Chain A
């Protein structure tokens, strides 16, 4: 097996490594001892690009943000997360304002109350994300309901028009007028629903 070592401190395998169950367990354990946040995943496609082929970007998880917000010098944070100075600095620069604003709002000290602050912050983030997800779901449901409504109204209009064609103008003129009014109302309702769909689509 070959280990790739980059000139900027990144380490990679030259290819996926065959491991026995025992080796794999030992490797995962080893990595967990080295880094603060380690996750084992299965449902991922094989990776062909290796260190040196391109610039890799690793997404930040909420567990990593929690480590990032703990009070520690940068070297320690980089080591715990397996990330570069710049990656840690940029992400800290992004998240610190939320923490300082929260400290001010809650009347907490950034140093003495740091654990409490992080807890409140992460809880708040979790609730915000949940609210965002719920709102997205509700929006999608509303959109789907509107589309169903269009189908339903179109069917009703077709049905009314079909019935209208079967009527005799000499005999059923009153009934025909009523039906035409029904069709007019249904068309108006359909236009309103379609307008709503357009608006939601643009939002």
Chain B
């Protein structure tokens, strides 16, 4: 969550830096320019988490695997079933499922079972491309 810290002295701070879209950042700066007058903006190079070098050959995701991501199995179970890493399953699940459900809601689709689900995922892939 976005935490705003208010000190007894009247100072106000953020608990940590906040990720903002371009529009949000512009509004944020505009808010301070309007209320506080002179505001300077400084560009900063952010430190990034280095994952280290690694050699990997990306394995293409199949429609059947995408269908499994929508199922009740845990990430650990899918890791074993798919022969993929836990990181790969977690990232793909976290990326695909919300986007797919959002698309289904937009098009007023319910989530079907079996072959119908595979067809729906195929349709989603086609439309997304």
Contact = CB atoms under 8 A, between A and B. Distances in A.
A8 B43 CA distance: 10
A52 B47 contact: yes
Nearest to A61: B1
A94 B90 contact: yes
Interface string B1-32: 11111111111111111111100110111011
Interface string A60-94: 11011000000111110111011110011111111
Given A12-B17, A55-B49, A93 B12 contact: no
Interface stretch (A102-110, A147-155, A190-198): A102-110
A10 interface: yes
A165 interface: no
Contacts of A96: 69, 93-94, 97-98
A100 interface: yes
B2 A37 contact: yes
B61 to A, nearest CB: 14
A40 B92 CA distance: 34
A7 to B, nearest CB: 6
A97 B13 contact: no
Chain B binding surface, main DSSP class = mixed
A39 interface: yes
B64 interface: no
Contact of A82 (B2, B5, B36, B46): B2
B74 interface: yes
B21 A91 contact: no
Contacts of A37: 1-2
Task: Classify chain B: how many residues form its interface, as a range.
Answer: 35 or more
B21 to A, nearest CB: 5
A41 B5 contact: yes
A30 B94 contact: no
Contacts of A8: 19, 46, 48
Interface of B: 1-21, 24-25, 27-29, 31-32, 35-36, 38-49, 69-75, 89-95, 97-99, 101-102, 104-105, 109-111
Contacts of A39: 1-4
B90 to A, nearest CB: 4
Interface of A: 1-20, 23-24, 26-28, 30-31, 34-35, 37-42, 44, 46-47, 50-58, 60-61, 63-64, 71-75, 77-79, 81-84, 87-94, 96-97, 100-101, 103-105, 109-112, 114
B110 A112 contact: yes
Nearest to B44: A52
B109 to A, nearest CB: 7
A14 B89 CA distance: 38
B42 A93 contact: no
Contacts of B15: 41, 44, 47, 58
